[in-house]
Structure 1
């Protein structure tokens, strides 16, 4: 009877301990899965979940805030992920947040990492779908790395081939390295180019100084840059244009006069073309000269006449008096 009671006691203790362990396991698992707290749902859409499974953690800014509850495949490029998020963190998440799938360490489980968005936006609500960003998976990186290794191997082989040809003196580079004469010529050419470059720099400096000196007022270009001089030059040109127009009018009139003379119109035509008229004018001038001489002789005779001698003396005195007063 005593043995039976001890067995019952052991059995009771075992059941109690098992029950406590079961309740503790349920508590820890439920606490981890946010089964006993106030939670909300968030969704994200990915093209590839990279091995993510229900029950994996969800992190926001490096803090565990929930778990993945469901992964639903819509088609071959669309996969919906439902996440259970603690309400204490929900009011910190904005609608411009971005969800990504990454690994928990180098070889850890896959997790959903929610990255805060830039700027200010509204807070998420229960059932909202946030933006997502699919990172390059390990397989894609390994495939890219494999292609890179192949290209590097081909590049190394080509580089080795080129190096061998250079060492053998083949090609332009090999010839330059092996041929001392060509190397010396190339060195001289580079030296000449250097000297030419220095000369060009000096010429450009001189040209810059010349251009700067043109803006000074002690030369022609500098004077022309003065606004007052420019206005004066403009006025001179305007006056020249007006004078040119007047000269054109005078030339036109002169041309008309010459045409009239050539066509026999006007007195000048008669003077230049009528010989009889010219002879008459010459004879008239000769007669006038003769009459003038005779008139002078008569005046001289009158001066000596006793009737007019007093008058002429009076005139001479008045002229002398006027000269002295001046």
Structure 2
């Protein structure tokens, strides 16, 4: 065999070995994707519509591929039973109350079976279990829903266009506000008034904060009025006293009013003594005559007393009485001087001497 033949044989052998290696790697990769070389359990689920699901499509749980579709077969009344290979290591996370639904890889991707739900109250799935199913929206149903949404959106857009045209024409309250310049000026004035009111409210709030800060200053009158219970008790007592004084004044005013009414009635009554004294002229003249007679009688009495004092029979009596009155006056003059001296002595020494 020549060297060229040997070289050709080696090249062919290398290509054959590479081909075999690629074949083995492909088998391993495809087997790994199809879960052919892992330990699986088989579960089933029955659907009314599989929406184009094929054998070999993936089975997902919580977004993770855990198996593949093994078989598809019709049962009953146009229902399809889907057999699935589930990894045994992933089956520990799937509960018997989990549900299977048909989904897709993206909006137009391959169909797949998705397992959802499941609670810890139920045990994990086992080989041969049958899972419950949940109907999913098909692409046609989704497109129908989108079509309805498009029709509704078109109606909303049309209504909005009509509303904007009415607003531009100045119709309605909003159109009047936007198109009427006088109303717009009134709105601006109202907004300005609201702004001023807000500023005034802010100033009032600041004043209240300052007053509250003064209330917290110990020793101030406001703080004492708020916190000192003694002052509050005295203020209550003073208020009660003022209330009592006010009640007394009201009572006195009522009594005076009643007395005034009684006096007025007596004055108006010509038969009463007060009415006679005030309104009867004859009685007034008699009273004046009586007073004149009393005055003249008093003068005559003084004259008679003076005549008695000069009478020799009573002269001794009047002289004796005059001496006694002089002595009494002398005692009254000396008594204040003695009391003043005693008081001065007590103030100087602290003991009466």
When normalised by structure 2's length, the TM-score is 0.45
Relative contact order (C-alpha < 8 Å, sep 6+): which is higher? 1
When normalised by structure 1's length, the TM-score is 0.48
